[in-house]
């Protein structure tokens, strides 16, 4: 009996302590919310949906962010689960923040390392800077000029495939075609591997990338997504896809390492540069390998879907707008004529095509935004912003606001005519500043008509398609 009393006494005591602890946590939470209210409530923003703040962050529903930008102005606040996020369309703030050394977010996809500390997601400025300097040569115009053959060949393969489909009256899903061909190009030009996915119809690799991207969208939209049991099957598929991408990377990296060790002549491509990122930090061998794999996956994710989607959106608009299509055809006929091979210099002459592609990214930016953590107090449009928030900059929203672009929903390549004034920090489909897209750094070479390096080569696919369709 005494033992029983002792045990119940202890249980009562533990319960009391637990209750006390819960009460303290609850009070701290209330104080925290009060503090957040006092600190940030002067910034305009929608009311909170519930006691948890704004539960749905709605990153992917851009029209929602867009509507709010119209309602609340150049900077507004959302308290997502009481974490303050700012959505900014003010050009001056965009300029200052994106051109400065502010840090970014990181993604560990569904508990499995995905982009890790690779170029896009690296937090530490110095570590990122070292990687970027190493990668730059593989994106130089010098290296990419030498890859024209690979681009010509892959584009020809696509043309042959389309011609076959035309002969048999088979409908072509252009988005899917572009997905395969951009994957082919990246694997060849960046990693020296010839996949020929258009022919092989091996869907394992493209599917793995698609699953990873789907997983990433879910993760960004709701980071608690992985905790719900009903999502388990999907999550396992994503995990398997990440595993496949990283194990493929490991295999290709090891093959290249062996080739270098055996004194073979290896291309100075992205894979060779990725190998150089190892041994630069005080990392263990395992950490080095993981970093290399982060960059391997990063380049697929950054370079493949973005370009494939841009191509697909442009084809969609050209299909809708025969006049613009006729202008593009005319330019391609004038510059390329009957030539079989398209040269690097030909691409620079395609001014109108370049305008079409820029306009495509205004309406359909395939990497729609970026974010920066703000460590110091700043002022946006006269509103004081206390330090400690993350600012989101959305090119999709800016591209559709009529204060920046007249008749924003009209597809009009003339907006990007070389004689027209450049949009002032409201058009940034490749982000801006030091963390801008690595595939876009051609501007640094002082080339004004075309501001892309890697992407530049995708113009090429257009030329081919336009040429082919005019002869079919
Ligand atoms: C239409 C095509 C593309 C678009 C719209 C695009 C857009 C972007 C954007 C907006 C960022 C910044 C992301 C952020 O801040 O989180 C970025 C970064 C990056 N992109 Fe692209 N990109 C494209 C194609 C490519 C290609 C073809 C490659 C290379 C194969 C590439 C490689 C990268 C890399 C490595 C970064 C990280 C840069 C850094 O932080 O140093 N991108 N891209």
> Position of tokens 């319960």?
15
Task: For residue 190, give the ligand 1 atom closest to its CA.
Answer: 30
Closest CA to ligand 1's atom 25? 303
Q: What is the CATH number of the domain that holds 325?
A: 1.10.630.10
Question: CB neighbours of 1 closer than 8 A, spacing ≥ 6?
Answer: none
Q: Is the dihedral of CA 199, 201, 205, 209 positive or negative?
A: positive
CB 429 near ligand 1, within 6 Å: yes
Task: For residue 370, give the ligand 1 atom closest to its CA.
Answer: 15
Q: Could you report the predicted ipTM of this complex, rounded to two decimals?
A: 0.97
pLDDT tens over the chain, length 472 residues? 677 778 888 888 889 999 999 999 989 888 888 888 888 889 988 877 666 666 555 444 555 677 778 888 899 988 776 778 889 999 999 998 888 877 766 555 545 566 777 788 887 788 888 888 888 877 777 777 788 888 888 888 888 888 888 888 888 888 888 888 888 888 888 888 888 887 766 677 778 888 887 877 776 666 666 677 888 888 888 888 888 888 888 999 899 989 988 988 888 888 888 888 776 566 677 777 888 888 888 888 788 888 888 888 998 898 899 999 899 888 988 888 888 788 878 878 888 988 998 999 999 999 888 888 888 899 998 999 998 888 989 999 999 999 999 999 999 999 999 999 999 999 999 999 888 888 774 333 323 233 334 444 555 565 556 555 544 4
- Give a yes or no: residue 38 inside a domain: no
- Give a yes or no: residue 226 inside a domain: yes
**DSSP secondary structure string, 57-68?**
--SS-HHHHHHH
- Give a yes or no: residue 325 inside a domain: yes
Can you tell me the distance from the alpha carbon of 441 to that of 456, in angstroms, rounded to the nearest whole number?
A: 11
Q: Which pair of structure tokens corresponds to residue 96?
A: 């200052």
CB 212 near ligand 1, within 6 Å: no
Can you tell me the distance from the alpha carbon of 453 to that of 32, in angstroms, rounded to the nearest whole number?
A: 47
- Give a yes or no: residue 270 inside a domain: yes
CB 132 near ligand 1, within 6 Å: yes
Ligand 1 center–CA 208 separation, angstroms: 20
Ligand 1 center–CA 256 separation, angstroms: 25
What are the backbone dihedrals phi and psi of residue 380, each rounded to the nearest 5 degrees, phi first? -120, 120
> Position of tokens 């697929």?
300
Closest CA to ligand 1's atom 30? 303
Question: CB neighbours of 458 closer than 8 A, spacing ≥ 6?
Answer: 182, 185, 307, 310, 311
Task: For residue 270, give the ligand 1 atom closest to its CA.
Answer: 30
Ligand 1 center–CA 82 separation, angstroms: 30
- Give a yes or no: residue 54 inside a domain: no
Binding region for heme: 437
- Give a yes or no: residue 200 inside a domain: yes
CB 430 near ligand 1, within 6 Å: yes
Ligand 1 center–CA 197 separation, angstroms: 23
Ligand 1 center–CA 380 separation, angstroms: 27
CB 427 near ligand 1, within 6 Å: no
Question: CB neighbours of 410 closer than 8 A, spacing ≥ 6?
Answer: none
Ligand 1 center–CA 141 separation, angstroms: 17
Could you tell me which residues are beta bridge partners of residue 391? Answer: 86, 372
CB 367 near ligand 1, within 6 Å: yes
Query: What is the number of domains present in the chain?
Result: 1
Closest CA to ligand 1's atom 27? 303
Closest CA to 327 of 356, 361, 359: 356
CB 299 near ligand 1, within 6 Å: yes
Closest CA to 81 of 133, 44, 29, 120: 29
Which residue segment(s) compose the domain that 338 sits in? 104-471
1-33 exposure pattern, b = at least 16 Cβ within 10 A, e = fewer: eeeeeeeeeeeeeeeeeeeeeeeeeeeeeeeee
Ligand 1 center–CA 437 separation, angstroms: 4
Q: The pTM is what?
A: 0.85
**DSSP secondary structure string, 241-262?**
HHHHHHHHHHHHHHHHHHHHHT
Can you tell me the distance from the alpha carbon of 197 to that of 63, in angstroms, rounded to the nearest whole number?
A: 35
Number of residues assigned to the chain: 472
- Give a yes or no: residue 74 inside a domain: no
- Give a yes or no: residue 69 inside a domain: no
């Amino acid at each position: 009996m005494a033992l029983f009393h002792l045990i119940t006494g202890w249980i009562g005591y533990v319960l009391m302590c637990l209750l006390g602890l819960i009460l303290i946590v609850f009070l701290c939470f209330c104080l925290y919310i009060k503090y957040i209210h006092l600190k940030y409530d002067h910034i305009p923003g929608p009311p909170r949906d519930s006691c948890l703040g704004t539960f749905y962050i709605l990153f992917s529903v851009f029209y929602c962010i867009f509507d709010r930008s119209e309602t609340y102005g150049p900077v507004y606040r959302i308290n997502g689960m009481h974490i303050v996020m700012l959505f900014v369309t003010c050009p001056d703030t965009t300029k200052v923040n994106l051109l400065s050394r502010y840090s970014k977010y990181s993604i560990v996809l569904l508990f499995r390392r995905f982009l890790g500390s690779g170029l896009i997601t690296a937090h530490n400025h110095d570590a990122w800077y070292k990687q970027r300097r190493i990668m730059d040569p593989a994106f130089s115009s010098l290296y990419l000029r030498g890859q024209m053959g690979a681009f010509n060949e892959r584009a020809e393969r696509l043309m042959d495939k389309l011609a076959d489909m035309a002969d048999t009256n088979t409908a072509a899903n252009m988005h899917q075609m572009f997905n395969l061909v951009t994957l082919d190009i990246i694997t060849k030009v960046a990693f020296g591997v010839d996949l020929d996915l258009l022919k092989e119809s091996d869907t394992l690799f493209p599917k793995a990338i698609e699953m990873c991207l789907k997983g990433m969208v879910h993760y960004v939209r709701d980071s608690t997504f992985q905790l719900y049991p009903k999502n388990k099957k999907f999550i396992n598929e994503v995990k398997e896809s990440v595993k496949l991408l990283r194990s493929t990377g490991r295999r290709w990296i090891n093959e290249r390492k062996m080739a270098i060790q055996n004194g073979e002549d290896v291309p100075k491509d992205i894979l060779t540069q990725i190998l150089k990122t190892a041994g630069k930090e005080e990392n263990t061998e395992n950490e080095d390998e993981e970093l290399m794999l982060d960059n391997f996956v990063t380049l697929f994710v950054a370079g493949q879907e973005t370009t494939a989607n841009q191509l697909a959106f442009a084809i969609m608009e050209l299909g809708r707008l025969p006049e613009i299509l006729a202008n593009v055809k005319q330019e391609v006929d004038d510059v390329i004529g009957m030539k079989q091979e398209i040269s690097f210099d030909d691409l620079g002459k395609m001014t109108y095509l370049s305008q079409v592609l820029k306009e495509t990214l205004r309406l359909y930016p395939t990497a729609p935004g970026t974010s920066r953590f703000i460590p110091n107090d700043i002022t946006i449009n006269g509103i004081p912003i206390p330090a400690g928030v993350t600012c989101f900059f959305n090119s999709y929203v800016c591209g559709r606001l009529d204060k920046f672009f007249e008749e924003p929903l009209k597809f009009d390549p003339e907006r990007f005519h070389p004689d027209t004034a450049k949009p002032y920090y409201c058009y940034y489909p490749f982000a801006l500043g030091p963390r801008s897209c690595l595939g876009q750094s051609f501007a640094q070479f002082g080339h004004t008509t075309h501001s892309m390096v890697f992407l530049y080569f995708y113009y090429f696919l257009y030329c081919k398609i336009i040429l082919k369709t005019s002869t079919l």
